[in-house]
A and B are shown apart, each in its own frame.
Chain A
Amino acid sequence: MRIVEVILAPILALLIGMFFLGLARKIMARIHWRYGPPITQPVIDVIRLFSQKSVSHGNMFTLGVLFSLACSLVLILFLPMGKICPLSSSGGMLVILYVMLLAPFGIALSGGEAANPNASIGISRKLTLALGYEVPLLVILLAVMTHYKTLSIVNIVSMQQNTSWALTSLPLFLSGIAYILILPAILGIRPFEITQAAQEISSGPMVEYGGSFLALATIQHGLNLFIGIALFVNLFLGGAGNPPIFFLKMLVVFVLGLFINAALPRLRIEQAMRYLWRWPTLIAFIGMIIVLIIRR
């Protein structure tokens, strides 16, 4: 049973991630009053990219991409999706937090070896942005962990199943709001699409990726969307008892995120930092203090 879960979970995540990418393009097109591509377009792109010749700038260039995708796949195993959670007892939230950082780190190492300043600028922006959203995110996660007195995400989900969603409970309400405010930055969608800004820095770290490298990076992007939303659903929307409901919740969150994505222009990096370190951080800190007061 465990082995089936281990195999099933990444495949499901892969399918849903690709579906999200396709859905994003379709919904964006409809918001722009366009017809839009077929919903399978990202899959077609990936097939095309896999069949193309690619260039490599060195071993780290190759290994970085592979490592990044592998770590995203591993991360799926730590996240409970409904009842599916193959590696629930291997370190809890802290491991998830750390493994989450491996995927961008792999891309950063790989992009760095491309010897292209566009890639370096993109990575510098990505890491700066990560520091920007990690400040409120860490406060939020610590508030959740302190409130439920556990490090295990499975326990957090089951406690919410027994009582109410964290987003609707009094102590964690503000934390949830802060998480929603930084969710676009975690997912890397507009207005925080600073890393890949195609028009300024030629898609940033991906500037030298072609062929199968870009295919893997696209898949990784899909998984990244999946992970960001799944974490939110698990922490604040009470997870779910079974996978379909879990995916439904994810879909709702994602579509809401898309509306923001379609409506807002891209921020500059210092505007993004100023925003992230002001309102979400303030709200998250107030949330944390409330949690501490209630705990006492």
Chain B
Amino acid sequence: MSLELLLIVAFGGALLSYLFGKICPQIRDPFAVISSVALAVMMAFLYGKTMESPFYFGFLGLPLILRTNMLAWFFAMAISILGALSVIFSWDYVKDRERTDFYYLMLLLANASMLGIVFAGDFVSFFVFWEIMSWSTFLLISYNRGRALGAGMKYIIMSIVGSVSMLIGMLSLYAIYGTLHIATLSKLVPSASSGYLLFLFILFGIAFAIKNALMPLHTWLPDAYAESPTSFNGVLSGMLTRMGMYGFLLIIYVIVGAARALNLGPGIFKFNYILAWLGAITIVVSTFIALLQNDAKQLLGWSAIGQGGYMILGIAFGTSLGLAGGIFHTLNHAVYIVLLFMSVGAVQYRTGGQRDLDSLGGLIKRMPVSFIGALLGISGLIGIPLTNGFVSKWLIYKTLILEGHPFLAFAALIGTWGCILYCYKFVHHIFLGQLPEKYKMVARAPFSMQLPMIILSLVILLFGILPGIPLKVINTIGTSFGFQSLNVTTWGIASETGTLNTINIFAAVVAACVIVWLIFKAGPKAVPVAQEDTYAAGAAIPKDRYHYTVDFYNPLYRMISPYFKDFIGGFCIKLAGWTQNVCHGIRQMYTGYIGHYVMYIVLFLALLIFVQLKWSLW
């Protein structure tokens, strides 16, 4: 099976579903689902293959090349599966909206272009697919209009800045080496001077850091996540944001090579230290900002920024353990953040788009599957043992401790402990507590929403209990980068500096749960009671006002809120305001009175003459 065929299926599926939507709307949804599932199945057959073939000649004399290897396959698999699940989730979610054909086109196009990015064998096709991805994402983020337009504008401006910086990097590569073929570059670039490598890292780093939302360049993400349609959030948060991670892996490990790339620079200002500290700052700051959010999707958005920091921390040290942790965390994060967004989406779908944490509550009684999804999602996010997030975080912490960076490890760990607070807040405010009167009759999520949630929940547990399955693939990626192979077993990692054995933990937890359950069963049976039958000092409880949500961590908020604000986001807004003012000032020139225009021309000519007389430039 050739890669061209895969991409044709991906892009063709997108275009055809748009056409079907115009011609015969009934078969559009099934077609979109079938094409994306077929794509995932085809992708699975590509496992373990490496191939490379040009697919189009004659662009400035540069061949456009598609190639695949373990790294590309790993990302492509995740993209296609999560994409398929998102398409299934969209089935009911966007059914009653307008412009659904357009929605499906853009959703599938974003997926297809991501596949293009990971399969691209040269920088021209990489850049083309990158731009398709940015623009289709922009159109989907602003799909809801209103506030979403602003969020989309923020996203596309930052994306363009990133793309331009990447374009400059590519041009300089082309000017020096005369080729943009990644495999050839990876042989030539490592011998370049340190200064040039730093220049490359900064240019490409800006592009990838913007996409991965690394701390000073993260400002697009919370609004974009919050305002885009929730069914698209799966694609956006799962893999699209992590294309930045793929880019970092590409530039650091594939092209320049870890040994050269990470030791660049003097003393403590080495490239990997700077990268790691940016990651650490991202984790801590965004965790505490997430704590202060009251909007479910904003909260998840900030948490996604923080989790991006963990991945950066993992790959920043260039050890096989850390690399495995970083790549594995990319996958794990994609799984649980998609699950969390789906759970929010199901709640939104049933409660009329409500995502304000303070006005929900008690939905566990009405939407149990969504609750289980959210619970497993936050368990993965926290990294509770036996869920997937634990293994990857364990690898990252271990790298940091063994490499002798306790302060970085502290930042990572404290990020996790802050994460517990906002995760509990998320689950508590939406699903636990008192069920408001108006949501008493809310129905369960439709099957098309439950199915992806169930699948992802199972994946979280599977990767948590048997982490060896994905870790073996990741280990192959590591060895292809020239690292020592890890001693991976199906249930963990064995090494002399501390072993991880998840199956032991699993057995112990299951046994303990069974024993405790048996003891509990021996006692008298508990009587189920209504939520109104709860202690209120003898009074009958007030309806709709007995759920403690507003200012949930009040003392903590008061302590941290002066320090943890989105200063950079605020600065960007201010910058936009200044630019607007300046432009407004310039616009005052256009008075509509012909005499003024004549005066401008005369003044400009006078300036030219003056310059020529004074310095004789021409």
Of B109-117, B230-238, B383-391, the segment with at least 4 beta carbons within 8 Å of chain A is B383-391
Chain A 100-128 interface 0/1 with B at a Cβ cutoff of 8 Å (1 = within): 01100100110011111110110110011
Q: A181 at the A/B interface (Cβ < 8 Å)? A: no
A89 to B498, CA, bound (A): 7
CB-defined contacts of A168 to chain B, threshold 8 Å: none
Task: Return the contact of B404 from the options A123, A139, A146, A151 (Cβ within 8 A).
Answer: A146
**Which B residues between 360 and 408 are near A, CB-CB below 8 angstroms?**
362, 364-365, 371, 375, 382-385, 390, 394, 397-398, 401-402, 404, 406-407
CB-defined contacts of A151 to chain B, threshold 8 Å: 398, 401-402, 497-498
Interface size of B as a range: 35 or more
- Report whether A212 and B526 are in contact in the complex, using a CB–CB cutoff of 8 Å: yes
**Considering only CB atoms, which chain B residue lies closest to A128 in the complex?**
B556
Of A45-53, A229-237, A240-248, A249-257, the segment with at least 4 beta carbons within 8 Å of chain B is A45-53
Q: B265 at the A/B interface (Cβ < 8 Å)? A: no
Q: A90 at the A/B interface (Cβ < 8 Å)? A: yes
Task: Return the contact of B512 from the options A53, A73, A149 (Cβ within 8 A).
Answer: A73
**Which of B435, B513, B527 has the most C-beta atoms of chain A within 10 angstroms of its own C-beta?**
B513
CB-defined contacts of A273 to chain B, threshold 8 Å: 555-556, 559
- Report whether A66 and B513 are in contact in the complex, using a CB–CB cutoff of 8 Å: yes
CB distance from B360 to the nearest CB of A (A): 13
Q: A74-B508, A131-B418 are in contact. Are A60 and B432 (CB under 8 A)?
A: yes
Chain B 414-450 interface 0/1 with A at a Cβ cutoff of 8 Å (1 = within): 1001101100100110001111000000000000000
Q: A56 at the A/B interface (Cβ < 8 Å)? A: yes
A2 to B554, CA, bound (A): 47
- Report whether B555 and A128 are in contact in the complex, using a CB–CB cutoff of 8 Å: yes
A interface residues, tally (CB under 8 Å): 80
Task: Return the contact of B528 from the options A58, A70, A114, A269 (Cβ within 8 A).
Answer: A58
Q: B504 at the A/B interface (Cβ < 8 Å)? A: yes
- Report whether B397 and A212 are in contact in the complex, using a CB–CB cutoff of 8 Å: no
Q: A62 at the A/B interface (Cβ < 8 Å)? A: yes
Of B21-29, B187-195, B516-524, B598-606, the segment with at least 4 beta carbons within 8 Å of chain A is B516-524
Q: B409 at the A/B interface (Cβ < 8 Å)? A: yes
Q: A216 at the A/B interface (Cβ < 8 Å)? A: yes
CB distance from B442 to the nearest CB of A (A): 16
Q: B553 at the A/B interface (Cβ < 8 Å)? A: yes
Chain A 51-82 interface 0/1 with B at a Cβ cutoff of 8 Å (1 = within): 11111111010100011011101100100000
Q: A127-B424, A208-B535, A273-B556 are in contact. Are A66 and B520 (CB under 8 A)?
A: yes
- Report whether A105 and B384 are in contact in the complex, using a CB–CB cutoff of 8 Å: yes
**Which B residues between 92 and 131 are near A, CB-CB below 8 angstroms?**
none
Of A21-29, A30-38, A91-99, A185-193, the segment with at least 4 beta carbons within 8 Å of chain B is A91-99
Q: A262 at the A/B interface (Cβ < 8 Å)? A: no
Q: B413 at the A/B interface (Cβ < 8 Å)? A: yes
Task: Return the contact of B499 from the options A89, A109, A114, A130 (Cβ within 8 A).
Answer: A89
A269 to B417, CA, bound (A): 18
Q: A51-B524, A53-B527 are in contact. Are A112 and B428 (CB under 8 A)?
A: yes
Q: A94-B397, A138-B410 are in contact. Are A269 and B534 (CB under 8 A)?
A: no
CB-defined contacts of B414 to chain A, threshold 8 Å: 134-135, 138
- Report whether B534 and A116 are in contact in the complex, using a CB–CB cutoff of 8 Å: yes
- Report whether B498 and A92 are in contact in the complex, using a CB–CB cutoff of 8 Å: yes
CB-defined contacts of B529 to chain A, threshold 8 Å: 55-57
Q: B483 at the A/B interface (Cβ < 8 Å)? A: no
CB-defined contacts of A143 to chain B, threshold 8 Å: 406
Task: Return the contact of A124 from the options B371, B402, B435, B553 (Cβ within 8 A).
Answer: B553
Q: A55-B528, A113-B364, A142-B406 are in contact. Are A134 and B417 (CB under 8 A)?
A: yes
Q: A58-B365, A91-B498, A273-B555 are in contact. Are A74 and B505 (CB under 8 A)?
A: yes
A146 to B553, CA, bound (A): 33
Task: Return the contact of A105 from the options B420, B499, B502, B515 (Cβ within 8 A).
Answer: B420
- Report whether A288 and B406 are in contact in the complex, using a CB–CB cutoff of 8 Å: yes
Q: A150 at the A/B interface (Cβ < 8 Å)? A: yes
**Which B residues between 541 and 584 are near A, CB-CB below 8 angstroms?**
546-549, 552-556, 558-559
- Report whether A55 and B526 are in contact in the complex, using a CB–CB cutoff of 8 Å: yes
A94 to B508, CA, bound (A): 17
**Considering only CB atoms, which chain A residue lies closest to B509 in the complex?**
A74
- Report whether A56 and B527 are in contact in the complex, using a CB–CB cutoff of 8 Å: yes
- Report whether B384 and A74 are in contact in the complex, using a CB–CB cutoff of 8 Å: no
Task: Return the contact of B497 from the options A71, A118, A150, A295 (Cβ within 8 A).
Answer: A150
CB-defined contacts of A142 to chain B, threshold 8 Å: 401, 406, 409-410, 413
CB-defined contacts of A149 to chain B, threshold 8 Å: 402
CB distance from B201 to the nearest CB of A (A): 28
CB-defined contacts of A207 to chain B, threshold 8 Å: 535
- Report whether B520 and A216 are in contact in the complex, using a CB–CB cutoff of 8 Å: yes
Q: A215 at the A/B interface (Cβ < 8 Å)? A: yes
CB distance from B57 to the nearest CB of A (A): 53
Q: A8 at the A/B interface (Cβ < 8 Å)? A: no
Q: B500 at the A/B interface (Cβ < 8 Å)? A: yes
A146 to B536, CA, bound (A): 50
- Report whether B501 and A94 are in contact in the complex, using a CB–CB cutoff of 8 Å: no
**Which A residues between 248 and 294 are near B, CB-CB below 8 angstroms?**
268-270, 273-274, 277, 288, 291-292
- Report whether B526 and A117 are in contact in the complex, using a CB–CB cutoff of 8 Å: no
Q: A158 at the A/B interface (Cβ < 8 Å)? A: no
- Report whether A74 and B535 are in contact in the complex, using a CB–CB cutoff of 8 Å: no
CB distance from B426 to the nearest CB of A (A): 11
CB-defined contacts of B528 to chain A, threshold 8 Å: 55-58
Task: Return the contact of A131 from the options B421, B524, B531, B534 (Cβ within 8 A).
Answer: B421
CB-defined contacts of B515 to chain A, threshold 8 Å: 70, 73
Q: A71-B509, A102-B384, A109-B427 are known contacts; what are 6 more A-B pairs with Cβ within 8 Å?
A: A71-B512, A90-B505, A115-B534, A116-B535, A134-B417, A270-B558
What are 17 A-to-B residue pairs whose CB atoms are below 8 Å? Answer: A10-B512, A54-B523, A55-B527, A62-B526, A90-B505, A98-B383, A98-B385, A102-B384, A108-B428, A112-B427, A113-B364, A113-B433, A115-B434, A115-B435, A120-B549, A131-B420, A212-B526
Binding site for A on B (CB under 8 A): 362, 364-365, 371, 375, 382-385, 390, 394, 397-398, 401-402, 404, 406-407, 409-410, 413-414, 417-418, 420-421, 424, 427-428, 432-435, 492, 497-502, 504-505, 508-509, 512-513, 515-517, 519-520, 522-524, 526-529, 531, 533-537, 546-549, 552-556, 558-559
Q: Sorted from nearest, which 9 A-B pairs have the closest CB atoms?
A: A112-B432, A151-B498, A212-B523, A120-B548, A56-B526, A70-B512, A117-B548, A270-B555, A142-B406
Binding site for B on A (CB under 8 A): 10, 50-58, 60, 62, 66-67, 69-71, 73-74, 77, 87, 89-92, 94-95, 97-99, 101-102, 105, 108-109, 112-118, 120-121, 123-124, 127-128, 130-131, 134-135, 138-139, 142-143, 145-146, 149-152, 202, 207-208, 211-213, 215-216, 268-270, 273-274, 277, 288, 291-292, 295
